[in-house]
Amino acid sequence: MAGKKVFIVYGHQSSGSFSAAAKDAAVEVFGTKGYTTEISDLYAMKFKASATAEDITGEVKNADHFCYAEETKLAWEAGKLSADITEEQRKLTEADLIIFQFPMYWFSFPAIMKGWIDRVLTLGFAYSQEKRYSQGIFKDKKAMLSFTTGSHESMFSANGINGDMNVTLWPLQNGILHYCGFQVLAPQIFWAPSHVPSEVRGTMLEGWRKRLQGLLEEKPLSFTPLDCFDREKGFQLKPDVCEKHATEEFGLTVGIHLGKPLPPNNQMKAGV
């Protein structure tokens, strides 16, 4: 596995944060394994979060009715995307594994990281109508979320006030990472590090370092393959797939649940 390349998209304002410590731990462990690690420190880079016509060099096709997806696709094909986007796309293209390291804000990414996703994962480069989900452009790459929460794990349970973390993760992991074809590794969740003793934070980091040793060999999370859906019928599950799972206790995934109970830890553990 030596020679592998890891790209960390890092989104925290403070070098003294737990997110920074998690990022630094990854760099350290990957270095001992002979991996090359590249980091985009979004706040230090002052990365522009808003997706605008400024992301295109030169004239756009339709300035009166500007469509970001279509215009950036044309710009990508013509080599006219802004330099900051092109550089991030290079890092992603060269990587075997992409880690998003961040503090969870409002049940999602910080705005600057969501802006990275909006601007870097452009139509054509990261996805197309023909190439998405299990047939996506990045199907040979792995990606994962590594993040801190402000609430304890119990609050993100099926009975907790924040709701099931699996449900929170579905639009991030399925709607972004899996949509672009990535093999999605189980998330690394650091539960409320700012609300626990320092020795507990140390244990969290040690667990992360241990996981990092074999991270690239891990089995990815399971998602329903694209060929299970009927394109001619609005991408609905094919009748034979529905029939096959009719007697199963749980749905296929958190999002594609067939009206059944959600499969336990579907977005948090592989093979569950």
All structural domains of the chain: 5-219 (3.40.50.360)
Q: Which of 74, 80, 89 is nearest to 119 (CA)?
A: 89
CA distances from 187 to 87, 165, 168, 199, 259 (A): 26, 11, 12, 22, 25
pLDDT at 251 over 50: yes
DSSP label at residue 228: G
Q: Judge whether residue 272 has pLDDT over 60.
A: no
Q: Mean per-residue pLDDT for 131-147?
A: 97
pLDDT digits (tens, 9 = 90+) for 61-76: 999 999 999 999 999 9
pLDDT in tens, 26-45: 999 999 999 999 999 999 99
Q: What is the pLDDT of residue 71?
A: 97
Which DSSP category does 262 fall into? P
Structure-token pair, residue 255: 């999002």
Residue reference for tokens 């989900």: 133
DSSP 8-state class, residue 173: I
CA dihedral for 255, 256, 258, 264, sign (positive or negative): negative
pLDDT at 118: 98
Three-state DSSP at 74 gives helix
Mean pLDDT of all residues in 141-168: 97
Compute the radius of gyration of the chain from its Cα atoms. 19
Give the model's pLDDT for residue 270. 84
